[in-house]
Structure formats: structure tokens, C-alpha cells
Amino acid sequence: MAIHPIEFRYGTPEMKAVWEQEAKLQNMLKVEAALAKAEGEIGLIPEDAAEEINRKATTEYVKQERVDEIERATNHDIAALMKALQEVCDGDSGEYVHYGSTSNDIIDSSQSLQLKESITIIRAKIIELMRVLMNLADEQKDTVTIGRTHGQHALPTTYGMKFAIYIDELTRQLERLDLTEKHLCVGMMTGAVGTTAALGDTGYEIHLRVSEILGLSPVHISNQVVQRDNHAEYVMTLANIASTLEKMALEVRNLQRTEIMEVGEKFDPEKQVGSSTMPHKRNPITGERICGVSRVIRAYVNTALQNNPLWHERDLTNSSSERIILPESSILTDYILKLSIKLFSNLDFYEENIERNLNLSNGLIMAERFMSKLTQKGMGRQSAYALVRKCSMDAYAEDKGLREVLSNQEEIKKYLTQEEIDETMDPHTYLGSCEKFVDNILDYAKNVIDEYEPQ
């Protein structure tokens, strides 16, 4: 019976396939095969034994059920793997399985293969999400909206700016993911305390060759494990990605509030139900799920950091928690990336509400522009600020529009005509370099994505 939501509710088939038990077993067998191949090439074990081990080191021959059966008796997962592989090898070839290695050579190297594949899947979804946002930024480049600071109306901005900021952040997440892959996805065949002593004079050569066969960079140095600052970096990178996705989803959720209703999730009125009791509800459920799951991903960071300080050359305290946090953080990050692609591919824009909210303050959002205009016309900046601030406070107190209050100020009439006052109060023309910023980000992001595309 399924218990964990990942089993039946959350996650994508492609990422789950990376972390399912048989895939894990296949990767460990791949490392055992690479070890035998490297040892056979230099004559450390018979070449025909290396070939037989390579033929049989697949889940076609080594069955998970048999590995589990042996582990129940031995209470050791890698010893069970080793025996199950040995059993299916013809002749005495099985005698050479696992020669010169320790359990974590197999675990960490095979886990690197899983993590590398996970990063590839996550990277592809980040790029897909960037493309969605790039289309939105271009389409909404000229859609003027109110910018909010501290939850209060501040100055005009554009929806193009909102989406461009997310795009820029995701380019940095790609960079972090690349750096994490470089540090994390390494091969290791260094033996019980990292010295390669069991492999004699050929140890370092075998360490390098195994990594080469696996398509991994060899770890520079290890004790019995690849150092867990690398794994903590991975989880922290996923948590950082999750924080970006939550930021984006949170903005949509806020903008979908009934009082604001500028942007909202796509809702199918024919089929979708918002509430079991309130027939009118249209809830931002995709955004809320992104935000909720992101909290779980970030919670794994503390555990990942605690896995780095181990006793001496290692202990086993990292192992049990990594069986949970590495697959779950990978699966859940990939999942909320998929949800984010869905969310931003299906946004509804309510243009009348965007314009209504832009003018909700009755001109107060143009106070900064008016102050700057007076300064340009010859009034001192501090004097202009004080005058416009007083007019703004009067507008609040008297429930009047800022334009009306400003137009009645004799001091202001010395510097500005009524036509200039009216022009200055138009929020659609106070956008500074918005268009330039958006265009620059779109060009930059395109170049970033092109670097990942096959030529």
C-alpha cells in the first residue's frame, strides 16, 4: 500500500525512474563492472574474468529480489550486491568481483551517476521554464502595472520587468547547478580510508580509469567517502531553486487576490472545483502547491549540512538520511519545476484590473516624478521633496487626487504649467529604462540557453 505522496501524487516519471530501486542497483553494478574492466586492462585480475563480470553486471542477471534476500541475512547492502553478482558469473570470475574496493567506492560513484542524471533533468526543466518566462516578458513588456514595496503602491513598473527578474534569477540557478555538478558528480575508487592501499601500486591509476569509464571526473582526494560538503551544496542548490519558484508562485498568488485580481491561474469552469462547500471559489492551487513543497525541499538543507562532519575517516550517520533527502529533494524540485512551467504557461491577465490598480492611489504614485520634475525646472531637490510630500499628505487627509492638490499650489505654478502637471501625472510614461532592462535580459538569457543547446 502506498504511503508517501511521492509514490502516487508528486513527482515526474523521468525523475522517479532515476531513483527507483532497480535503477540504483543498475548503477552500482555499472561501477562494479568499471572496476573489473580497469583491473583487467592492467592485469590486476584475469581479463576473461573482467569480461565475464562486465557481461553479468546488469539487472538482467542480478535481480533486486536476490540482493534483498542476501541483505536480510548479511545486513549489508554492498556485501549482498557483491554476492549476488558473484553468483551469476561463470567459472571463478565471481571471485574477482569488488577486488580492492570498499562499499562507498560503489555507493558514492553510483550515486554520482544518479545525481548527474538528476541534474540533467532539472537543468532541462529550468531552461523550459525560462523559455516560458521569456515569451511572457516579451508579450507583456509594455503592460504597465503598479509596483509594490512593503505591500504598498510605490511606482509604475511593467509585467515585462517582473518576468525578466525571474529569468535573470534562473540563469544564476543554472550556473549554481553547473558548479554543483562539477563538485558533486565525481568517481571514487580509493579503498577503505582513501589510500588505495588494497590496489597496490596501481591504485591511483585504477581510480582514474574507473572514473573515466563511468564518464565522471575522479575525486581529487577522499577518505572513505566523497566529502559531504558536495552533497550539501547539491541540496542547498535545489533549495535555492525552490526558493525562486516559491517567489514566482507567491507573486501570482498575491496578484490573484480578489481585491487585486491582475493575474491568475488558468481555471476550467466546466470541470474544476475550487471548494467542496463554496461554489464560487477559484483557488490558486498550483501556486500553493509549489510554495508548500518548496518548504519541504528547503528543510533538507539542515540535514545535508549535518552530514558533512563525520567521525574521523567516516561514520555511517550520513547514509540513512541521504537515502531520504537525496531522492526526495531531487524528485520534489523536479516536480515543482514542472508545476511552475504549467502555472506560467497558463496565466490569465485581467487588463482592466491592472489599469484600475495602477490608478487606485489617485495619482499619489507619481509624487516622485513630480518632485524630480520640479527639480529639473529649478527648484532645489530638498525643497521639492518637502513640497510634494506636504501635498501628498494633504491628498491623503482630504481624500483628493494628487493632481488636484498640486494644481492649486502657487509655488508649483511658478515652475510648471497645467499642461506640464497633467503630463507629469501620467503613470504610463514614467517607466525609465524598463524596456531596455527587459530586452537586455531576453538577449542574455537566449545566449545562456544557446550554450546548453547541441550545436
Which are the catalytic amino acids? 150, 275
CA 402, CA 388: separation in Å to the nearest integer? 9
- 347 SS3 class: strand
- 47 SS3 class: helix
| DSSP letter (8 states) at residue 147 | E
Sign, CA dihedral 314-197-209-221, equals: positive
CA 270, CA 313: separation in Å to the nearest integer? 61
- The phi, psi pair for 328, rounded to 5°, reads -70, -45
Instruction: Classify residue 310 as left (phi > 0), alpha (psi -120 to 50) or beta.
Output: beta
**280 Cβ contact list (under 8 Å, min separation 6):** 274
**421 Cβ contact list (under 8 Å, min separation 6):** 370, 403, 406, 407, 412
Kindly tell me the burial class for residue 259, based on how many C-beta atoms sit within 10 Å of its own C-beta (0-12, 13-18, 19 or more): exposed
CA gyration radius for the chain?
30
Half-sphere exposure of 271 (CA within 13 A, CB side): 2
Pairing status of strand 347-349 against strand 263-265: antiparallel
The residue ranges of DSSP E strands in 119-236, in sequence order, are 144-149, 152-158, 186-187, 217-218
CA 253, CA 250: separation in Å to the nearest integer? 5
- The phi, psi pair for 409, rounded to 5°, reads -90, 115
Q: What angle (nearest 5°) sits at the alpha carbon of residue 334, between those of residues 341 and 451?
A: 75
Element (H, E) at 277: none
Q: How far is CA 428 from each of CA 15, 153, 351, 353, 449, rounded to the nearest angstrom? A: 45, 15, 14, 15, 32
Q: Are 326 and 332 in contact (CB under 8 A)?
A: no
Q: Are 135 and 443 in contact (CB under 8 A)?
A: no
- 360 SS3 class: coil
